[in-house]
Structure 1
């Protein structure tokens, strides 16, 4: 398993790509320091070539299984990603898929959407029962909540969603996040 913590310590910005335009942008030489990429688009036919292009540029690639058309967090998603791509890991919303991915040697990011106190409490319970390498909370512009979670969780946290500028990114990192994921190319250049 790769040491994602060390990579994010060197550069805490994760490029989240949501379409072909983002893919072309993140492959540019100016982003060679940005090693970690979250792939948030594609389908079962295109995802192998998307991952290959990124790996050819020495990127660490996590595929968001829920957003890949034809996978949609099927229980077979981790094995498909392992067998047909060279991805380093998956992003998932399903605890069982995080468990399966780890079992077959993929790194895992468990993604949470924090909408209210009920979803916040669900994070506590889920983290106890999952074997994810990292958790990602969205929206990532809640420094107080990020700090609370990092105080009680042993799993490193990434802040994602609505990170609009350097101040948002720095607030999340100051609160305890080890990185921020963003599809905003201005954030990629931090």
Structure 2
């Protein structure tokens, strides 16, 4: 499998799915990378298998999987059950546990003010994820200010609704964007 940097450069639009209807739509879309933002320990394997059968690169947002605890055993369950390429999480312990299991790990941070930005940068520097997803993704100035402070790819996510939002985020320094807006999935 290609390195994450190369995947994002070649596929800057990421499909973020929240339900089974999104799953079916993303399978027939042009996006290669998919963020799974729903599911449970009961259906996670099926979701991952469908996406991988369609040739998609799968990341599971472990904080959003019902019935899953984000400890080492929970990460091991995801590895054995769904075998995604990587995970997404807001939690430092999940990042550490995911890295131990050789997942590609994306840290999601929410930037609502200067303090959350500083805290997010410190956390990124401390746990060293493979990439960071900055939310909301329409915060181009925030992405620009982070670009020189973190040495991992930046993915803009949240509130990306138009092609202009995509271009602004990429222009500000994001390597890719994630969106639930199906109309943007075919931009890649």
TM-score interval w.r.t. the shorter chain? over 0.9
Q: Does 1:15 align with 2:15?
A: yes
Cα shift at 1:26 = 0.7
Q: In the aligned structure 1, how far is the partner of 2:70 from the partner of 2:156? A: 21
Alpha-carbon distance between aligned partners in 1 of 2:72 and 2:103, rounded to the nearest angstrom: 14
Q: Which residue of 2 aligns with 1:89?
A: 86
Aligned length: 187
Query: Which residue in the other structure is 2:5 paired with?
Result: 5
Q: What is the CA-CA distance between 1:131 and the residue it aligns to?
A: 2.6
Structure 2 SS opposite 1:176? coil
Gaps (5+ residues) in structure 2? none
User: 1 or 2 for the larger relative contact order (CA 8 Å, sep ≥6)?
Assistant: 2
In 2, Cα distance between the equivalents of 1:151 and 1:187? 28
More deviation, 94-103/165-174: 94-103
Root-mean-square deviation (Å): 1.2
Taking structure 2 as the reference length, the TM-score comes to 0.95
- Give the Cα–Cα distance (whole angstroms) in 1 for the partners of residues 177 and 64 of structure 2: 19
Partner Cα distance (1:2, 1:127) in 2: 23
For 2:128 and 2:9, locate their aligned partners in 1 and report how far apart those are by CA, in whole Å.
22
Contact preservation (8 Å) 2:71, 2:93:
no
Per the TM alignment, residue 106 of structure 1 is displaced from its structure 2 partner at its CA by 0.8
Distance 2:168 2:40 in 1: 34
1:99 positional shift: 1.4
Moved over 2 A (4+): 72-77
